[in-house]
Amino acid sequence: MLLLEYDAKAMMAERGIRVPRGVLVRAAADVPADFPLPLMIKAQVPVGGRGRAGGVLEVADATALTPAVQRMTSATIKGHRVRECLAEEMVAGHECFIGFALDHASGNVDVLLSESGGIDVEARNSDIVAERTDFDPVACRDAAMRLAARTREPLRAAFSDIAPRLAEMFFSLEAVLLEINPLFVRPDGSWIAGDAKLVVDDNALARQPALAALIRSRADAYPEVVGKLASGFDFAVLDAEGDVGLVTTGAGLTMQLIDELIARGCRPFNFCDIRTGEFRGDPARLIRVFETMAASPSIRAVLINFFAGITHLGEVSRLIVSALEAVPRLVLPITARLIGNGYDEAVAVLGAMPVPLVVEPDLERALDRVTAAAGRKRP
């Protein structure tokens, strides 16, 4: 999960990484009267490239503050409605870049530095020096220090100071990505983090009580992660105006279904990895998903996709029935693509349902049914 900039910087400040003074606002009145001007208004949405997308505004004086906040909080940035902003003091200096990124394929860590920063720094590969190292905090710190030694002063002093702090933060939070861009470096070698990107593994939150507490305290900003902490499974809205709801298990298979539906012209409403093996006779997870779908006026069809190995589809089908009975508002065409252990029993159980639910073991035919129910024509 990508932390919002305000929260990422709060985590940095706790670790001695210098960040600009900032406050979270939903209205201009939330900005303290003594806050220094000029300042920046930054949209707090979980996407990169906010500056290019109009998510960062400069406020020169008090008269421009209210219009800027109103404009930002009424905006949509890359599909995300802006509900809050970071009002932040303006800082300056030479723009640099430093980052740590987990390479999922190798399990190693890429350490990256650049003497220039800002928009599109990743595209300017010639500006970046990098070293791939073992997944080890000391190895990453040492790699960053070697890269820092190759830069010129006063950047060398700044990189050498911040690198060990970032390496420690990267590992202590079990991060997947941690970068500062831009890192502002002043002529005397002092520095401050102009922007921050922190991506953490939400599966590690059980081992990160402070981070989990932060997420829970900001439930309105991280509803899907809070839901996962409460329910134990993954559910994320991909398109608030999507026309197909997914009740699926297995992250990889779900992503495949999403791609298949998009190729057929559908707009998947959500990602879901409901983890049927953890149902344990309780329909609560299904009820939560069905309630979310019932509340969305744009969904026209629902696709259930469960592949059963150890899980018994007969048991799962009875939980589906219980969940649908608990959410009578969900009156939509439902296609259940089921395959595996207990299939015949599942067909008998679901066949008695009064709702328009069809069991289809063939994936292509199941996708065709969903496409038709959503009012799309297969290309």
The DSSP secondary structure of 142-201, one letter per residue, reads HHHHHHHHTSPTTHHHHHHHHHHHHHHHHHHTTEEEEEEEEEEE-TTS-EEES-EEEEE-
Domain CATH for 34: 3.30.1490.20
Q: Are residues 291 and 352 in the same domain?
A: yes
The domain boundary residue, chosen from 157, 179, 200: 200
Q: Are residues 249 and 187 in the same domain?
A: no
Q: What is the mean pLDDT of the chain?
A: 91
Name residues whose C-beta falls within 8 Å of residue 205's C-beta, 6 or more positions apart in sequence.
211, 212, 215, 225, 229
Burial 49-68 (b: 16+ CB within 10 A, else e): ebeebebbbebeeeebbeeb
Q: For 284-312, what is the mean pLDDT?
A: 91
Name residues whose C-beta falls within 8 Å of residue 130's C-beta, 6 or more positions apart in sequence.
110, 111, 112, 113, 147
When mean pLDDT is compared over 116-120, 338-342, 355-359, the highest value belongs to 338-342
Q: Is the pLDDT of residue 308 over 90?
A: no
149 falls within a domain:
yes
Q: Is the pLDDT of residue 224 over 70?
A: yes
104 falls within a domain:
yes
| pLDDT tens-digit readout, 320-356 | 999 999 999 998 999 999 998 899 999 999 988 776 7
Q: Are residues 50 and 75 in the same domain?
A: yes
Question: Alpha-carbon distance 72 to 42, whole Å?
Answer: 8
- Domain extent at residue 177: 94-200
Q: Are residues 30 and 132 in the same domain?
A: no
Share of the chain above pLDDT 70, in %: 97
Q: Is the pLDDT of residue 119 over 90?
A: no
The domain boundary residue, chosen from 89, 114, 147: 89
Per-residue pLDDT, 335:
95
pLDDT interval class at 251 (50, 70, 90): confident
2 falls within a domain:
no
Q: Are residues 80 and 162 in the same domain?
A: no
Question: Alpha-carbon distance 110 to 122, whole Å?
Answer: 13
Question: Alpha-carbon distance 27 to 68, whole Å?
Answer: 10
Phi and psi angles of residue 3, each rounded to the nearest 5 degrees, phi first: -75, 145
pLDDT interval class at 123 (50, 70, 90): low
Name residues whose C-beta falls within 8 Å of residue 75's C-beta, 6 or more positions apart in sequence.
43, 54, 55, 81, 82
Q: For 277-303, what is the mean pLDDT?
A: 92
- At residue 111, the 3 state secondary structure works out as strand
Helix pair 284-294, 313-326: axis angle to 10 deg? 50
Q: For 232-238, what is the mean pLDDT?
A: 86
Per-residue pLDDT, 223:
81
Rounded (5°) CA angle 322-323-325: 65
| pLDDT tens-digit readout, 49-105 | 888 888 999 999 999 999 999 999 999 988 788 999 999 999 999 999 999 999 988
Q: Are residues 111 and 80 in the same domain?
A: no
Domain CATH for 292: 3.40.50.261
Q: Are residues 258 and 358 in the same domain?
A: yes
Q: Is the pLDDT of residue 377 over 70?
A: no
Domain CATH for 133: 3.30.470.20
Q: What pairing do the DSSP bridges indicate for beta strands 196-200 and 128-133?
A: unpaired
pTM of the model: 0.74
DSSP label at residue 285: H
Q: Is the pLDDT of residue 45 over 90?
A: yes
Q: Which residue has the higher pLDDT, 118 or 200?
A: 200
Q: Which residue has the higher pLDDT, 337 or 128?
A: 337
Q: Is the pLDDT of residue 290 over 80?
A: yes
Tokens in use for 131?
């070293």
Q: Are residues 285 and 311 in the same domain?
A: yes
Per-residue pLDDT, 307:
86
Per-residue pLDDT, 121:
67
Dihedral over alpha carbons 162, 167, 169, 173 (to 10 degrees): 160
Tokens in use for 316?
């799962």
Total count of domains within the chain:
3
210 falls within a domain:
no
Question: Alpha-carbon distance 36 to 90, whole Å?
Answer: 8
Share of the chain above pLDDT 90, in %: 74
75 falls within a domain:
yes
| pLDDT tens-digit readout, 147-192 | 999 999 999 999 999 999 999 999 999 999 999 999 999 999 999 9
Q: Are residues 71 and 110 in the same domain?
A: no
164 falls within a domain:
yes
Tokens in use for 17?
């990484």
Q: Are residues 50 and 113 in the same domain?
A: no
Per-residue pLDDT, 124:
58
The domain boundary residue, chosen from 177, 200, 223: 200
Q: Are residues 192 and 275 in the same domain?
A: no
255 falls within a domain:
yes
Question: Alpha-carbon distance 290 to 326, whole Å?
Answer: 9
Tokens in use for 340?
């595996």
Per-residue pLDDT, 128:
85
209 falls within a domain:
no
Q: Are residues 365 and 236 in the same domain?
A: yes
